[in-house]
Structure 1
Amino acid sequence: MLSMLVSGIGMGIVFDGYRVISDELRISRLWIPIFDLLYWIAATLVVFQVLSSSNEGEVRAYVFIGLLLGIGCYYWLFSRITMKLVQVLIRTTKAIIRFMIRAFDMLIIRPLVLLYRIGKLFLAFLRAFAIFLFKIVVQLVRPFWLLTAWMTRPIWKPLLRYWKRWVNPIIAKWRVPERIASLRAGASKLWQRWKNRKEEKKDD
Structure 2
Amino acid sequence: MTLTTQFMTMLSMISMGVLFGAGLDTYQRFLKRPKRKGWIVFINDILFWLLQGLAIFYVLFLVNEGELRFYIFLALLCGFAAYQSLMKNVYVRLLEMIISLVISIYRFLLKLGHILIVAPLQMLFTMIITLLITIGKGLLVLLTSILKLLLLIVKIVFLPVKWVGQILWRLLPNRLKKSVEKLYNKLEGYLQTIKEYVKKQIAKWKKKE
What TM-score, normalized to structure 2? 0.64
Q: What do you get for the CA RMSD once the two structures are aligned?
A: 3.8
Residues 108/73 of structure 1: CA separation in 2 closer, same or farther (3 Å cut): same
Asked which structure has the greater CA Rg, the reply is 2
- Number of equivalent positions: 179
Residues 128/30 of structure 1: CA separation in 2 closer, same or farther (3 Å cut): closer
Residues 135/57 of structure 1: CA separation in 2 closer, same or farther (3 Å cut): closer
1:37 alignment partner, SS class: helix
Residues 54/101 of structure 1: CA separation in 2 closer, same or farther (3 Å cut): same
CA distance in structure 1 between the partners assigned to 2:51 and 2:141 by the alignment: 76
CA distance in structure 1 between the partners assigned to 2:86 and 2:143 by the alignment: 85
> What does 1:20-169 correspond to in 2, within 5 Å?
20-23=29-32, 28-31=35-38, 33-34=41-42, 35-146=44-155
- The aligned counterpart of 2:181 is none
2:29 alignment partner, SS class: helix
Residues 112/33 of structure 1: CA separation in 2 closer, same or farther (3 Å cut): closer
| Cα shift at 1:121 | 2.7
Counting aligned pairs with the same residue, the percent is 28
What TM-score, normalized to structure 1? 0.65
Residues 131/56 of structure 1: CA separation in 2 closer, same or farther (3 Å cut): closer
CA distance in structure 2 between the partners assigned to 1:49 and 1:148 by the alignment: 101
| Cα shift at 1:141 | 2.7
CA distance in structure 2 between the partners assigned to 1:149 and 1:181 by the alignment: 40
2:148 alignment partner, SS class: helix
Q: Larger deviation: 76-85 or 125-134? A: 125-134
| Cα shift at 1:7 | 1.3
- Runs of 5+ unmatched residues, structure 1: 154-164, 190-204
CA distance in structure 1 between the partners assigned to 2:41 and 2:198 by the alignment: 75
> What does 1:10-21 correspond to in 2, within 5 Å?
10-21=19-30
Residues 100/179 of structure 1: CA separation in 2 closer, same or farther (3 Å cut): farther
- Runs of 5+ unmatched residues, structure 2: 1-9, 163-186
Detail structure 1 runs of 4+ shifted over 6 Å in the superposition: 150-153, 175-183
1:57 alignment partner, SS class: coil
